[in-house]
């Protein structure tokens, strides 16, 4: 196993799948590499590809708000990455071959960062990491035991931007994460809202 910085350098110059020629930047992941919470989403979009940083733009703003309501922030409490590290053209979903090529990087990231809690944002993250047949509408909000880690699937922030009705279930799911964080990591964790 290499360290996170070495792995990042491998990813930044990776050409293992057909997403590489159209990318501007591979987006490895950002946050605290010692965090006990890891968030995993789908793939970089337009702004992430331009900047090389995860969750820019509107869904990034919304994610920051959700984290803040939980008393978390990107720099201290979480590490964020995606199922694939390069932007699929026109933001289409990554296909099976692309996911298969890229997933070993995510597995290695998880091993190195070693979070106790993993939050999966959306169907692609759920299917990619846990089970290709799992349905996000069925399993969201329920803890999954996965390789000695606790995994909480919930909806992707971009789904919330399209459908306000998803706000409440996502908030319920994040409240469970805060409760678990207090139970397992920091009993004194402060959050204004839960």
Is position 153 an interface residue for ligand URA (rule: CB under 6 A)? no
Dihedral angle, C-alpha 77, 103, 8, 184, nearest 10 °: 20
b (16+ CB within 10 A) / e for 51-72: ebbbbbbebbebbeebbebbbb
Residue 11 interaction partner, one of ligand SF4, ligand URA, none, beta carbon < 5-8 Å per kind: ligand SF4
Residue 15 interaction partner, one of ligand SF4, ligand URA, none, beta carbon < 5-8 Å per kind: ligand SF4
Find the binding residues for ligand URA in span 11-50 (CB under 6 A): 27, 41-45, 48
What does the block give as tokens for 191? 């959050």
What does the block give as tokens for 85? 């590290």
Looking at beta carbons, which residue is closest to ligand URA?
41
**Separation between Cα atoms, residue 19 and residue 56, nearest integer Å:** 20
**Nearer Cβ to ligand URA (51/191):** 51
Strand-pairing partners, residue 145, are 150
Q: Which of 37, 38, 66, 86 binds ligand SF4 (CB under 6 A)?
A: 86
Binding region for ligand SF4 (CB under 6 A): 11, 14-17, 19-20, 26, 84-86, 98, 101-102
């Amino acid at each position: 196993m290499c360290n996170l910085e070495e792995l990042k350098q491998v990813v930044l110059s990776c050409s293992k799948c057909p997403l590489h020629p159209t990318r501007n930047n591979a987006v490895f992941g950002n946050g605290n590499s010692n965090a006990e919470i890891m968030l995993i989403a789908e793939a970089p979009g337009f702004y992430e590809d331009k900047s090389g940083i995860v969750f820019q733009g509107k869904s990034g703003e919304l994610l920051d708000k959700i984290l803040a309501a939980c008393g978390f922030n990107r720099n201290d409490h979480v590490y964020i990455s995606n199922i694939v590290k390069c932007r699929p053209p026109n933001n289409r979903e990554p296909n099976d071959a692309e996911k298969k090529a890229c997933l070993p990087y995510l597995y290695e990231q998880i091993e190195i960062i070693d979070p106790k809690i993993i939050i999966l944002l959306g169907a692609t993250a759920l299917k990619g990491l846990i089970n290709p047949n799992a349905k996000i509408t069925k399993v969201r909000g329920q803890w999954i035991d996965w390789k000695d880690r606790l995994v909480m699937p919930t909806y992707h922030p971009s789904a919330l931007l399209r459908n306000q009705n998803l706000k409440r279930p996502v908030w319920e799911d994040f409240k469970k994460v805060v409760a678990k964080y207090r139970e397992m990591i920091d009993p004194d964790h402060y959050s204004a809202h839960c």
